[in-house]
Amino acid sequence: MFRNQYDTDVTTWSPAGRLFQVEYAMEAVKQGSAAIGLRSKTHVVLACVNKANSELSSHQKKIFKVDNHIGVAIAGLTADGRVLSRYMRSECINYNYTYESPLPVGRLVVQLADKAQVCTQRSWKRPYGVGLLVAGLDESGAHLYYNCPSGNYFEYQAFAIGSRSQAAKTYLERRFDNFMGSSREDLIKDALIATRESLQGEKLRSSVCTIAVVGVGEPFHILDQETVQQLIDTFEIVKEDEPPAEEAQPATEQDAPTDQASGADQGAAGDQGGSPMEI
């Protein structure tokens, strides 16, 4: 995108019917670290990539608890995400105080979308530069929504936003038929594998990802690093058995050409790091 005479104000339309300031805000979401969400009939799992600005700094928090039945994962401008999560928290408290019942997830998402839309129609405001994956559980079941800076919102079975999220989307598109009947552990496993796909070659560790879960009989909470690392080791998502397998290849001389070819293919896939890996 390049600067032009129609992008100086959020309320200025271009001749093609576009609002460039809103599109720039949506581009900011694509530049943020990846966030992933997927749901079944009873659970919703959120995952995000922890990206630090430098080796000397800690990462920004990307998953926020809104209420016992709602949480959000953000991609984009973290400061805007904190403001919107605090607004959502306030709305849940007010609704619970007035009606003595949890705020339905769909109603909260509509209120959040209306708040974002106001910023696209006021010349003295700017759109929020953050996308939110809203995970929640209410009387109608588990829900996963995506709120866009333009004020639009969509409900998804599984979705990924942020930088390098296309590989995670490709994996989720291959697997989403099984999500509705998946258990809690299977959802977490798929979330971790989708997170690994978005890393594109980097090793998946508990220090580079955050996992949060909400479900029937389980309030929204963020898993600690020890639990996440145990899940990674249990699911064998990081293939630590590959080096011994490669060392054992010369022992089988009769299958040496085939083994060398497969080893070369695995080495090429490891170097690229962008193609989805089979489970």
Where are the domains positioned within the chain?
29-239
Using a 10 angstrom Cβ sphere, with 0-12 exposed, 13-18 middle and 19 or more buried, the burial of residue 50 is middle
Tokens at residue 71, please?
Answer: 């949480």
Q: Are 215 and 69 in contact (CB under 8 A)?
A: no
* pLDDT for the residue 59: 86
Mean pLDDT, residues 102-113: 97
Tokens, residue 217? 């009989």
Supply the pLDDT for residue 1: 53
Asked which of 81-95, 235-249, 260-274 is least confident by mean pLDDT, the reply is: 260-274
| pLDDT given for residue 172 in this prediction | 95
Cα–Cα distance measured from residue 121 to residue 117, given in angstroms and rounded to the nearest whole number: 7
Residue 264 pLDDT > 70, yes or no? Answer: no
**Cα 175 from Cα 257, distance rounded (Å):** 33
pLDDT value at 61 more than 80:
yes
Q: Per CATH, which fold does 29-239 belong to?
A: Glutamine Phosphoribosylpyrophosphate, subunit 1, domain 1 (3.60.20)
Work out the end-to-end distance of the chain between its first and last CA atoms, rounded to an integer number of angstroms: 38
136-146: pLDDT as tens digits: 999 999 999 99
What string of H, E and C letters represents the secondary structure of 165-196?
A: CHHHHHHHHHHHHHCCCCCHHHHHHHHHHHHH
For the chain, percent of residues with pLDDT exceeding 70? 84
- Across 27-35, average pLDDT: 95
* DSSP state for residue 207 in the 8-state scheme: G
What burial letters (b/e) apply to 78-101, b meaning 16+ CB within 10 Å?
bebbeebbeebbebbeebeeeeee
Greatest pairwise CA separation for the chain in angstroms: 76
Q: What is the DSSP letter of 129?
A: -
Q: For the segment 76-94, what is each residue's pLDDT rounded down to a tens digit?
A: 999 999 999 999 999 999 9
* pLDDT (mean) for 232-256: 54
For residue 270, what pLDDT is reported?
42
pLDDT beyond 50 at 225:
yes
pLDDT tens track for 149-192? 999 999 999 999 999 999 999 999 999 899 999 999 999 999 99
DSSP string spanning 82-149?
HHHHHHHHHHHHHHHHHHSSPPPHHHHHHHHHHHHHHTTS-TT-----EEEEEEEEETTEEEEEEE-T
pLDDT at 237: 65
pLDDT, position 250: 44
- With a cut of 70, say whether residue 208 has pLDDT above it: yes
Is residue 79 within 8 A of residue 138, CB to CB? The reply is no
Q: What pLDDT score does 202 carry?
A: 84
Contact assessment for residue 215 and residue 185, using Cβ atoms and an 8 Å cutoff: no
Report the alpha-carbon distance of residue 163 to residue 153 in Å, rounded.
20
User: Quick one: 248 exposed, middle or buried, by C-beta within 10 A (0-12, 13-18, 19+)?
Assistant: exposed
- DSSP assigned state of 233: H
**How confident is the model over 226-243, as a mean pLDDT?**
74
Amino acid at 239: K
Q: Quote the CA–CA distance of 257 and 259 in Å, as a whole number.
A: 6
pLDDT at 246 over 90: no
Rounded to an integer, the average pLDDT of 53-66 is 87
